[in-house]
Amino acid sequence: MKRREFITLLGGATVSWPLAARVQQGERVRRIGFLRAAPPPERDLGAFLRGVTSRGWVQGRDFVLVTQWGDGNVARLPELAVALVNAGVDIMLAEGVVTTRAARTVTTDIPIVMVGGADPFVGGLVKSLARPGGNVTGFSSAQTDIEGKGLEIFKDMVPGLARVAVLVPRIARNLFASAQEAAEKALGIDLLYIDLPGPEATGTAMRQAISAGAQGALMRVGPFFSSSQRQAIVDLAAELRLPVMYERREYIEQGGLLTYVPDIADLYRRAAGYVVAILAGAHPGDLPMEQPTKFELVINLKTAKALGLEVPLTLLARADEVIE
The structural domains of the chain, ordered by start, are 3-141+263-294 (3.40.50.2300), 143-261+296-323 (3.40.50.2300)
Cβ-proximal residues to 110 (8 Å cutoff; 6+ apart), any chain: 33, 85, 89, 90, 91, 92, 135
Q: Which residues pair with 321 in a beta bridge?
A: 298
pLDDT for 187 equals 85
pLDDT for 87 equals 97
Distance CA 64, CA 62 (A): 7
pTM of the model: 0.84
Which residue stretches of the chain have pLDDT < 50? 1-26
Distance CA 173, CA 184 (A): 17
77-86 vs 97-106: helix crossing angle, rounded to 10: 50
